[in-house]
Amino acid sequence: MILSVGERVKGRRFERMKEITLGIDGMSLEALAAIARKGARVRLARESEQRLISTRRLVEQWVEQGRSVYGVTTGFGALSDVSISKEETKQLQKNILMSHAAGVGDVLDDETVRAVMALRIKDLARGHSGIRLETVRQLIELLNRRIYPVVPGQGSVGASGDLAPLAHLSLVLIGQGEAVYRGKRMSGFDALKDCGLEPIELEAGEGLALVNGTQMMTAIGGLSVYDSIRLSKMTDIAAAMSLEVLMGTRTEFDPRIHE
């Protein structure tokens, strides 16, 4: 995941756009803020869709061949030497979400959750995880329809991954967990039902793909950097205007002095 400070598209700032395309390239801080705070909708780039389809075929092929693939046909962590049958691969992916959804503390605000969802979609759009296109589209539907999973703010294991927060976020995809929809907190199943969506059934490797990432810390950090840059610019403007209205001298800003 690459977050750049600024980027222009056809002469317009991302934050003024109503829809942002997420693909395999980097993502600007303006785009993140536009989605999180301005309610910009998102969609997948065509290249990302093709990559998702292509890499998914590989996963399905490996499962069919009975290959040993971590977290797909094996258990997780200390259970990585335990083989999982083809019939049990779906249950394994559901289990990893349920077992890791153990966060505590105050829940993240809607703005932060939108940022996390956007970054999760952006990361999956690169096409490296083997997740299905249908699953990513379901996550996009949640974001665009303003269904915000309830995500506790404490429980991440940091650089090893935001496993617990992402598990809470992903549970809503399968009709579990909790979500906020139209200002009302409800079950994930009811939130999907109210929007006319159906819970999806995770296939081999998808649970692992959904929780493996650092999108919560990146979302919080990204929005903080975005605000810091804007604050720094506003401070410079305020200082310049103050000097102007006081009819101060600009001599002390002479480049030769600072050199």
Active site residues: 70
Contact 166, 113 (CB under 8 A): no
Neighbours of 66 (CB within 10 A): 11
Tokens of 181: 């929809």
Neighbours of 153 (CB within 10 A): 16
Residue 252 CA to residue 259 CA, distance in Å, equals 12
Cβ neighbors of 187 (< 8 A, separation 6 or more) are 175, 176, 177, 178, 179
With tokens 């999907």, the residue in question is 192
Contact 148, 173 (CB under 8 A): no
Residue 195 CA to residue 145 CA, distance in Å, equals 8
Residue 19 CA to residue 125 CA, distance in Å, equals 16
Backbone φ and ψ for 45, nearest 5 degrees, come out as -70, 150
